[in-house]
A and B are shown apart, each in its own frame.
Chain A
Amino acid sequence: MTRSDVHLVNRLTYGVRPVDLERVRELGEAGYLDWQLAPEAIPDPEVDAFLERHPVLGADVAGIRRALDDDHADVVKQVLWAKLFRAVSSERQLHEKMVDFWTDHFNVPGPDRVPEKVVDDRDVARAHGLGRFHDLLLASARSPAMLLYLDNASSHRDHPNQNYARELLELHTLGVDGGYTERDVAEVARCFTGWTLREGWRGDMVFDRSMHDEGEKEVLGRRIAAGRGIEDGLEVLDVLATHPSTARFLAFKLCRRFVADDPPPGLVADVAASFRASDGDLRATLRTLFTSNGFRESRGQKLRRPFEAVAAMLRALSPAVEVHDYWAVHYVLELMGHVPYAWFPPDGYPGVAGAWLNANGLLHRWNAAMVLAHAHDGWTDGAVTVDLEAVVPAADTAGDLVDATWRRLLGDPIDAATRATLLTAVGAGGAGQRVTPTARRERLAQLVGLVLASPAFHLT
């Protein structure tokens, strides 16, 4: 049975490492949670250095567009790699997981609108991911990427476009059963007419009164007065952010992401109550979630999604692993269908195991593990380098080596049946067999590959 500290770290981060368990020892589980819930107070030197090496990630829309004109593929690579790099190396792990959560929740595909997407990532998910939901919602509504993707930028009072209004209600706030009608969708669309972008310039959002429907509207039984401008949309966002259905819907999604695919209804209700009581404060909401019994009892119930599995493998092997060519890792994500920012519909990448558990999904996970483990034999063509000797501690016997590898990569002690399986799989004579340096070198890659491919690694 997984230890509670390992469980906590595996859910708050992209994957447990020995240094994370040391931190939990130092701070206690509650303290560790508090620490992760305040990312602004956590120094993040490796990510800072990465961002300094890749200034395009901090540029504005025009700057990013210029960089794209110069070398499109290179900019795209930087954008994609940044997400993986942060998932693996950021100290603000919970923040990164929340950024990923909101990236799916407020999904906007990247390929056709790279500059806007980069800015959207910064200004929506990154800026407010652990803040107040209302602020996040407003940032998303104003985001040029969202305005373009769901057509609100071209929604006009003569012909309002309902795309954004519909997804705002169905996917972003109330949920499909949240108690709104088709008429509400139409009325919300009217409220958001005029939320657009300046002609020929895709910087910030502007409100264009000439496109706005100033008539009186009714949304969810509430009268929206005539004669106003941007206030209509702002009022709708206020109503939606504080609606009980929103609390329930978000609580469910958060519990699905961090607890189990089918979270206990009682827990969802508690998390929703916390959301409402705190006026949409995501830190308070998450604290309720992560300190609950439901969370504690959910060990082994979540399957790592492909991106998470790859990030976890790289974390498990750190600091002895280095990615020299991002595209090599990208290939694996492509094979598994989990390339960042490439999900086309507005609902974001699926969060349940059933969507990912298939032949492609399994084989490519196993291969990622095996190839990483054999990196020193040239299996990555130098694209990723790993120093396994620096990862797994010394061990005298085969049994000790198996135990040490398992513990080092998973954080948990191994059980007897698994030890026996692994011993056989690497061709060891028996648990007591002494391990020569040659044998260690041969066996380590196979062991590491098996452990990183094992169910225990992919279920958290």
Chain B
Amino acid sequence: MPRRVVPPVAPTAASGCHEYRSLDRRGTSRRAFLRSVAGGGALLLTRSLFPSLPFVAFAQAPRAVDTLVVVFLRGGMDALAAVVPVGEGAALYDHRRATAIPERAVLDLDGFFGFHPALAPLHEIYRAGRVAVVHAAGSPDPSRSHFDAMEYMERGTPGVRITGTGWLARHLESVPWTNDSPFRAVAMGTMLPSSLQGPDAGLALPSLEEFRLHVPDHERDRLEGGLRKLYAHAPGELPLAREAERLFATMRDLRTVAADRPDPRPGAAYPDTSFGYALRQVAQLIKADVGLEVACVDLGGWDTHEGQGGVDGPMADLLRELAAGLAAFHHDVEDRSERLTVVTMSEFGRMLVENGSEGTDHGRGGSMWVMGGGVQGGVHADWPGLHPDALDDGDLAITTDFRDVLSEILLQRLQNPAVERVFPGYRARYRGIVRPGAV
């Protein structure tokens, strides 16, 4: 019912995550920070933009921490067409016709694997050493249901249905610092993803502009004033007054962020889509220093059962959009890239053997990409190969659990040693995909 403030393309096409974290690199403890705030010390220059934010509640981490952006590719991305194992030769190309990416077209990564040509902008960043490509990665749960597979991945407990919280929520809860910013965890879209499901819900923002009271402009001040008074005197024991105040503060500050529109850095050419728009807004939140730690962005459309296309076609278009978005984002916040990690994931890969509709069906092994100043660039794959004996029920097998990649990022880049609380019942294997953050 709210009038949808639509970005250029239909809202369901994509959403985005941003995360940003501004920290006191002097390493003061929380108490010291509070004292210095009381003493009027201006630790964070941008504080004046947001007088309403509870800055006294910003604790400072002992070490610098990356902002994490999680890009979920919904539908099951065909990793064998995005990161082509050209070196497999006939073992790959015997099974792909319309969806084949010929060797001459791929952008080489390491002599064995190559990017789909539509990923050219990302390939540039790869060549600069800022992209780690993990292949044959995914979830041990064999479900080929989108819903199940996504939920298992986002809750971080494959095969276990009862987990009530998401992995990102557990991460935020288990870090050795606190952050009361309402922008601590943001999902660009209409729904909070399951990865953020938890007691301290993050913010779901269809867009920065849309997170406000939907009333005619000339009525807004009076109506907001009315609501504030009504909620300030809310009866009963529920913290309605407190939540309402927090909401008003958040809306006010978002107005400032949106109005303060720093244009994207010249050269940051975001695609003209919801996904591009979402990434652009996450960049805005990052630059506004609002205390963003984790951001979630979605890009859907990967469930290419029919007419997937090869070098050109629907999947190529998506890859183009993905790469353009990631590259624009990378460029837009390049000055903070040492403190930024972007990770892409998808609920599963797709089958080796092309189906009868010039598409691919749900498979197993997929590919995760990690982008940022802290990555160990290159291809990271415990490659099982495509020989029939090496396949898992006809699919690319999984040799890197998705939790290995995420745990390493949490530990090394987000300074959270509590990975076993984030992924209960799982012992991560670290593979040197990212470097430890500076202390």
> Which A residues form the contact surface with B (CB < 8 A)?
109, 111-112, 149-150, 163, 167, 300-301, 303, 328-329, 331-332, 334-335, 337, 344-347, 353-354, 357-364, 366-368, 370-372, 374, 377, 379-381, 383-384, 417-418, 421-422, 424-427, 446, 449-450, 453-456, 459
**Top-6 shortest CB links A-B:** A425-B226, A455-B234, A371-B1, A358-B201, A344-B151, A421-B229
Given contact pairs A109-B147, A367-B214, A370-B223, a sample of 6 additional A-B residue pairs in the complex whose CB atoms are under 8 Å apart? A334-B191, A357-B239, A370-B215, A425-B223, A450-B226, A459-B234
Known contacts A337-B192, A450-B227, A455 near B1 by CB under 8 Å = no
* B110 part of interface (Cβ distance < 8 Å): no
Partner of A425, one of B161, B204, B222: B222
- Do A424 and B214 touch (CB < 8 A)? no
State the Cβ distance, B109 to closest chain A Cβ, in Å: 35
- Do B223 and A455 touch (CB < 8 A)? no
- Do A381 and B145 touch (CB < 8 A)? no
Known contacts A344-B151, A359-B246, A427 near B222 by CB under 8 Å = yes
- Do A359 and B2 touch (CB < 8 A)? no
Q: How far is the CA of A229 from the CA of B212 in the complex (A)?
A: 60
> Which B residues form the contact surface with A (CB < 8 A)?
1-4, 145-148, 151, 155, 161-164, 182, 190-192, 194, 199, 201, 203-204, 206, 211-216, 219, 222-223, 225-227, 229-231, 233-240, 243-244, 246-247, 250-251
- Do B161 and A381 touch (CB < 8 A)? no
Q: Would you list 5 pairs from A and B whose C-beta atoms are within 8 A, ordered by A residue? A: A112-B145, A337-B204, A344-B194, A363-B212, A367-B1
**Chain A hits for B145, CB < 8 A:** 112
- Do B192 and A450 touch (CB < 8 A)? no
Partner of B213, one of A332, A363, A417, A459: A363
State the Cβ distance, A123 to closest chain B Cβ, in Å: 22
**Chain A hits for B223, CB < 8 A:** 370, 425, 446, 449-450
**Chain B hits for A344, CB < 8 A:** 147, 151, 155, 161, 194
Q: How far is the CA of A279 from the CA of B39 in the complex (A)?
A: 67
Q: How far is the CA of A334 from the CA of B189 in the complex (A)?
A: 10
Q: How far is the CA of A329 from the CA of B161 in the complex (A)?
A: 28
Known contacts A371-B2, A446-B223, A335 near B190 by CB under 8 Å = yes
- In the complex formed, the residue of A with least CB distance to B226 is A425
**Chain A hits for B151, CB < 8 A:** 344
Q: How far is the CA of A455 from the CA of B228 in the complex (A)?
A: 11
User: Which of A361, A363, A371, A381 is the most central at the interface, judged by chain B CB atoms within 10 Å of its CB?
Assistant: A363
State the Cβ distance, B207 to closest chain A Cβ, in Å: 12
Known contacts A345-B163, A346-B162, A374-B216, A459 near B238 by CB under 8 Å = yes
- Do A363 and B230 touch (CB < 8 A)? no
Q: How far is the CA of A333 from the CA of B213 in the complex (A)?
A: 16
**Chain A hits for B250, CB < 8 A:** 359
- Do A347 and B162 touch (CB < 8 A)? yes
- Do B164 and A345 touch (CB < 8 A)? yes
Known contacts A359-B247, A371-B214, A446 near B219 by CB under 8 Å = yes
State the Cβ distance, A363 to closest chain B Cβ, in Å: 6
Partner of B251, one of A332, A363, A371, A374: A363
- Do A368 and B226 touch (CB < 8 A)? no
- Do A362 and B244 touch (CB < 8 A)? yes
- In the complex formed, the residue of A with least CB distance to B235 is A300
B interface, by DSSP: helix, strand, loop or mixed? Answer: loop
**Chain B hits for A301, CB < 8 A:** 236-237
State the Cβ distance, B327 to closest chain A Cβ, in Å: 30
- Do A449 and B211 touch (CB < 8 A)? no
State the Cβ distance, B434 to closest chain A Cβ, in Å: 30
User: Which of B190, B192, B204, B230 is the most central at the interface, judged by chain A CB atoms within 10 Å of its CB?
Assistant: B230
State the Cβ distance, A417 to closest chain B Cβ, in Å: 7
- Do B1 and A372 touch (CB < 8 A)? yes
- Do B161 and A346 touch (CB < 8 A)? yes
**Chain B hits for A109, CB < 8 A:** 147
- Do B226 and A364 touch (CB < 8 A)? no
Q: How far is the CA of A384 from the CA of B244 in the complex (A)?
A: 27
Known contacts A357-B240, A459-B235, A111 near B161 by CB under 8 Å = no
**Chain B hits for A453, CB < 8 A:** 227, 230
Partner of A112, one of B147, B155, B243: B147
- Do A459 and B227 touch (CB < 8 A)? no
Partner of B215, one of A112, A384, A449: A449
Q: How far is the CA of A359 from the CA of B203 in the complex (A)?
A: 7
- Do A329 and B235 touch (CB < 8 A)? no
**Chain B hits for A334, CB < 8 A:** 190-191
State the Cβ distance, B267 to closest chain A Cβ, in Å: 34
- In the complex formed, the residue of B with least CB distance to A425 is B226
**Chain B hits for A380, CB < 8 A:** 1, 3
- In the complex formed, the residue of A with least CB distance to B201 is A358
**Chain B hits for A354, CB < 8 A:** 199
- Do A112 and B148 touch (CB < 8 A)? yes
Q: How far is the CA of A25 from the CA of B226 in the complex (A)?
A: 34
- Do A379 and B214 touch (CB < 8 A)? yes
**Chain B hits for A450, CB < 8 A:** 223, 226-227, 230
State the Cβ distance, A425 to closest chain B Cβ, in Å: 3
**Chain B hits for A425, CB < 8 A:** 222-223, 225-227, 229
- Do B235 and A455 touch (CB < 8 A)? yes
Known contacts A366-B227, A425-B225, A450-B227, A384 near B216 by CB under 8 Å = no
Known contacts A335-B191, A346-B162, A377 near B216 by CB under 8 Å = yes
Q: How far is the CA of A453 from the CA of B182 in the complex (A)?
A: 22
**Chain B hits for A358, CB < 8 A:** 201, 243
Q: How far is the CA of A427 from the CA of B220 in the complex (A)?
A: 12
Partner of B243, one of A331, A359, A426, A449: A359
Q: How far is the CA of A367 from the CA of B215 in the complex (A)?
A: 8
**Chain B hits for A328, CB < 8 A:** 1
User: Which of A301, A361, A370 is the most central at the interface, judged by chain B CB atoms within 10 Å of its CB?
Assistant: A370
**Chain B hits for A363, CB < 8 A:** 211-213, 247, 251
**Chain A hits for B251, CB < 8 A:** 363
**Chain A hits for B199, CB < 8 A:** 354
Q: How far is the CA of A150 from the CA of B234 in the complex (A)?
A: 42
**Chain B hits for A449, CB < 8 A:** 215, 223
- Do A332 and B226 touch (CB < 8 A)? no
Q: How far is the CA of A17 from the CA of B431 in the complex (A)?
A: 62
- Do A371 and B161 touch (CB < 8 A)? no
- Do A163 and B161 touch (CB < 8 A)? yes
**Chain B hits for A300, CB < 8 A:** 235-236
**Chain B hits for A353, CB < 8 A:** 238
Q: How far is the CA of A418 from the CA of B214 in the complex (A)?
A: 22
- Do A368 and B216 touch (CB < 8 A)? no
**Chain A hits for B162, CB < 8 A:** 167, 345-347
- In the complex formed, the residue of A with least CB distance to B203 is A359
- Do B1 and A421 touch (CB < 8 A)? no
State the Cβ distance, B384 to closest chain A Cβ, in Å: 26
**Chain A hits for B1, CB < 8 A:** 328-329, 331-332, 367-368, 371-372, 379-380, 383-384
State the Cβ distance, A353 to closest chain B Cβ, in Å: 5
- In the complex formed, the residue of A with least CB distance to B194 is A344
- Do B226 and A360 touch (CB < 8 A)? no
- Do A370 and B214 touch (CB < 8 A)? yes
- In the complex formed, the residue of B with least CB distance to A420 is B229
- Do A455 and B230 touch (CB < 8 A)? yes
Q: How far is the CA of A454 from the CA of B233 in the complex (A)?
A: 10
- In the complex formed, the residue of A with least CB distance to B197 is A337
User: Which of A149, A381, A446 is the most central at the interface, judged by chain B CB atoms within 10 Å of its CB?
Assistant: A446
Q: How far is the CA of A380 from the CA of B3 in the complex (A)?
A: 6
**Chain B hits for A361, CB < 8 A:** 201
State the Cβ distance, B162 to closest chain A Cβ, in Å: 5
State the Cβ distance, A399 to closest chain B Cβ, in Å: 15
- In the complex formed, the residue of B with least CB distance to A310 is B1
**Chain B hits for A347, CB < 8 A:** 162, 164
**Chain B hits for A417, CB < 8 A:** 233
- Do A426 and B236 touch (CB < 8 A)? no
- Do B213 and A367 touch (CB < 8 A)? yes
Q: How far is the CA of A370 from the CA of B229 in the complex (A)?
A: 17
- Do A335 and B204 touch (CB < 8 A)? yes
Q: How far is the CA of A421 from the CA of B229 in the complex (A)?
A: 7
